Structure 1
Amino acid sequence: MYQKHIKILEKPQGKRFAIGDIHGCSKTFKALVEDKIQLTKSDNLFLLGDYIDKGSDSTGVIDYIFYLQENGYQVFPLLGNHELNLLEASQQYNERTFKHFLRMNKNKDIVDEQMKIKPKYLEFFNSLPYYYELEDYHLVHAGFDFRNPNPFQNHNAMLYIRRFEVKKELLKGKKIVHGHQPTNLKAIQKSIANNASVIPLDNGCTYTKPHKIFDYNQLGNLCCLNLDSLELIIQENIEK
């Protein structure tokens, strides 16, 4: 169903950007792309998965991705675990349970009257690869399990792994940029400043209120990394 990975080894004429988990924050996503990044058609924009759930406008996020692609912008989205979870729920749950699942995740607009995922969104989800391999980066939703003999073939880890130790000899000089795990802004900035082999980009865009686990004062932003300059571009959550 899904492409294992896609190699993009040629750099664009413009810049290369990667954005972490958007989670239904369509206004914040649009502001980051148009006002902060000021994306051009010469740039490459990589999206690290989890476009849906948590925020209030999952379909708006995907529709904006469609808009960018249809208007000549080079946008490369990845599969996230939330997209896969939705696909699996649509196949495995009965109608009542699936309705509850959609309501809990604020995704009711993603299905039609027959409770089927709308064709344009289903086609989009099924087209998403597990990771992108660039000349100098591996871009993935969650990460890679280097305890596995074949870490670049373990697709479950690419969507769900939380913490992982890197075998640098397998990276061959490339860095890993990933989302999935909400990470304090200071930790993200530190990984970039230290030129780390692994850079997290999920700053928990939807975490804007006190939380029992996370320090929301260090979260609540949508983060973008300029892959060429290692500049971190931050857009505060502006959803209302």
Structure 2
Amino acid sequence: MKTVDFKHARGPDKLRVYAIGDVHGRLDLLQAMHRRILVENEKSPPYDWVVVHLGDYVDRGPDSNGVLDLLVNLQKKTHRMLAIAGNHEIGLLEFLATGDAYGLFARNGGRQTALSYGISINFNDPDSVAAGRKALALSIPQSHVEFLRGLRRSMVFGDFFFCHAGIRPGVDLDRQDPDDLIWIRWEFLDDARLYPKIIVHGHTPVSDIEKRPNRINLDTGAYASGRLSAIAIDSDRKFFVEAVV
């Protein structure tokens, strides 16, 4: 099996690929990052470019509604804004479907997401959960729901494989379990072997961008740290971009 390390990995010809880590409701940081990307493109204009958002757009931060609205509207305007699913997007869809008071959404920042749509939910009160689910389902725009349902679990550009959480080591990239792509953690993070592609991911917060021979972790805990991180891949040139507010 052919493998590649980060130093020698290349992006596709004539296409600069940006990838942005976990946003978690920080609309201010996502907008700042998009501005940074435009500045980088002005400094060194690419032949063409795309942005891959690595998931976890919702929960914990203050404006999940605004983040989803921005991404939905950008995708209507341009083919360059791409997005893949994180576990928190799936958690939101599951809450809308089931109203689970003990699921990911309820216990990991869903209250802030609901508040961004004008809905207050007390997840320790079953009546509040039931009423809140109904109210949220009525308040969240259908365009947001369709966006969430349509998210892919991975993308490939050149020598790079983009997903939210990581991959199952030892399993071919085209045979990965969709749940592993949004949930896996230590089995992947602790694996040092090289893969056929460099895995660009988020999901596990780190204090600084984590650069390994086989993977790049871009989740710098934006909702709490105030730092949103990205990588730019331009043929054999790779560089990092940060937005701070």
How would you bin the TM-score normalised by the shorter chain? 0.7 to 0.9
- Measured in 1, the distance between the counterparts of 2:145 and 2:72 equals 13
- RMSD of the TM alignment (CA)? 3.1
**2:30 — aligned with what?**
29
Q: Tell me the CA shift for residue 144 of structure 1.
A: 0.6
- Measured in 2, the distance between the counterparts of 1:123 and 1:39 equals 31
Task: Kindly provide the amino acid, as one letter, of the partner of residue 105 in structure 1.
Answer: Q
**Residue among 214, 233, 236 paired with 2:241:** 233
- Measured in 1, the distance between the counterparts of 2:38 and 2:20 equals 10
**For residues 146 and 103 of structure 1, do their structure 2 counterparts lie closer, same or farther at Cα, with a shift above 3 Å needed?**
closer
Structure 1 residues 147-189: Cα deviation after superposition (integer angstroms, max 9, x where no partner): 5577842111111111212543xx32x211000000121xx25
Structure 2 gap segments, 5+ residues each: 1-10, 42-46, 120-132
Structure 1 gap segments, 5+ residues each: 1-9, 209-219
**1:53 — aligned with what?**
59
Whether the 8 Å contact between 1:183 and 1:202 is mirrored in structure 2 is yes
**For residues 151 and 182 of structure 1, do their structure 2 counterparts lie closer, same or farther at Cα, with a shift above 3 Å needed?**
farther
- Measured in 2, the distance between the counterparts of 1:137 and 1:150 equals 11
TM-score (normalizing by structure 1):
0.75
**1:74 — aligned with what?**
80
* Identity between Structure 1 and Structure 2 (%): 26
**2:221 — aligned with what?**
204
**1:156 — aligned with what?**
179
**2:99 — aligned with what?**
93
TM-score (normalizing by structure 2):
0.73
- Measured in 1, the distance between the counterparts of 2:223 and 2:157 equals 29
- Measured in 2, the distance between the counterparts of 1:43 and 1:120 equals 25
Task: Kindly provide the amino acid, as one letter, of the partner of residue 54 in structure 1.
Answer: R
- Measured in 2, the distance between the counterparts of 1:86 and 1:71 equals 25
Whether the 8 Å contact between 1:42 and 1:73 is mirrored in structure 2 is no
Alignment of 1:115-126 (within 5 A): 115-116=136-137, 117-126=140-149
Higher helix share: 2
- Measured in 1, the distance between the counterparts of 2:66 and 2:98 equals 26
**Residue among 95, 104, 114 paired with 1:107:** 114
- Measured in 2, the distance between the counterparts of 1:70 and 1:52 equals 20
Structure 1 residues 178-230: Cα deviation after superposition (integer angstroms, max 9, x where no partner): 00000121xx25x1xxx61111000001123xxxxxxxxxxx31001002222
- Measured in 2, the distance between the counterparts of 1:200 and 1:29 equals 17
